Amino acid sequence: MHSLTDVEVKTLTLRAGNIRESIIKMLVEAGSGHTAGPLGMADIFTALYFRILRHDSQHPEWKGRDRLILSNGHIAPVLYATMAHAGYFPLSELKTLRKFGTRLQGHPHRESLPGLETTSGPLGCGLSQAIGMALMDRLDNYKPDRFFYVCMGDGEIDEGQVWESFLLLNKFKLNRVIPIIDRNTIQIDGYTEDVLPLESLKDKLESFNFHVIEIDGHNFRDIVSAVGKAKSSIDKPTVIIAHTIPGKGVPEFEGDYKWHGKAPSKEEGRKALKELRSLHGKLDID
């Protein structure tokens, strides 16, 4: 995986900006949903779908695809918006988020939309699901080898099942499972260090015998480089800690845990779109 050129970084930045705009629009239309996490993870999902994942939006059930498992399913708006921009379904369908009969439920439901790998709702399950998938590949001696990317929230890892999964991941040396932890320091009840302190998270994970890579989750070069290192790890699995800003791109939302599970009003949405578009205007993309 070669390092990104300046043009590639600018293109990914523009895509992430468009995805953030879609997130705001769909949340305003729905009148409910989660804002901070989806905006904060837009760069990670952009890098995954437009640079890293082996996938085909026109053939979503292609057997050779990599698997992306969204464990903290409440940030589904960023998954849906990215999938729509990647061509899995029309952008216009994003307006149906959380509406009766929609394919875009508040938490992803695997059978409702092609391209969804798992159903998520209860926190803490995604890593276990990915481990099961990877073990089946190993038992089947499936070739070519594929990777399983697990996007997780930091508040989510308060769940004991996550740490049991970390133990199992190391027991079987499942190097093709790559957890990406969104370290945005917020959860629905407050800041993670007030609710149930996680630090030093890197030390804890290293004590479980992982390679641990900490990155700026908004820096595309960092994201791509970290995944490249994780994919090339042979001796033990890798966990990526992605430091992100919840509500990224909208100053009024950034860093405020109150936006974890709150959707913008129409007026707040208009202001948010204005802020995001002012950032787009700074880009110099050919």
Q: What is the CATH number of the domain that holds 160?
A: 3.40.50.970
Q: How far apart are the C-alpha atoms of 166 and 259, rounded to whole Å? A: 29
Q: How far apart are the C-alpha atoms of 282 and 182, rounded to whole Å? A: 26
| Structure token digits, residue 197 | 């302190």
Residues whose CB falls within 8 Å of the CB of residue 91, separated by 6 or more in sequence, listed in order = 22, 84, 85
CA-based angle 244:108:125, to the nearest 5? 70
- 37 occurs within a structural domain: yes
Is residue 148 a contact partner of residue 66, using CB atoms and an 8 Å limit?
yes
- 285 occurs within a structural domain: no
- 112 occurs within a structural domain: yes
- 286 occurs within a structural domain: no
Helices (H), ranges, 31-75? 36-40, 42-47
The number of folded domains in the chain is: 1
**Bond from prior residue into 225 cis (ω within 30 degrees of 0):** no
- 193 occurs within a structural domain: yes
Going by C-alpha positions, the residue among 91, 161, 94, 96 that lies closest to residue 132 is: 161
Residue 142 to residues 37, 135, 136, Cα–Cα distance (Å): 34, 10, 8
- 222 occurs within a structural domain: yes
Q: In a structure prediction context, what are the per-residue pLDDT tens digits for the chain, which is 286 residues long?
A: 678 999 999 999 999 999 999 999 999 999 999 999 999 999 999 999 999 999 999 999 999 999 999 999 999 999 999 999 999 999 999 999 999 999 999 999 999 999 999 999 889 999 999 999 999 999 998 887 899 999 999 999 999 999 999 999 999 999 999 999 999 999 999 999 999 999 999 999 999 999 999 999 999 999 999 999 999 998 999 999 999 999 999 999 999 999 999 999 999 999 999 999 988 755 443 3
Is residue 33 a contact partner of residue 97, using CB atoms and an 8 Å limit?
yes
Domain that residue 17 falls in? 6-280
- 1 occurs within a structural domain: no
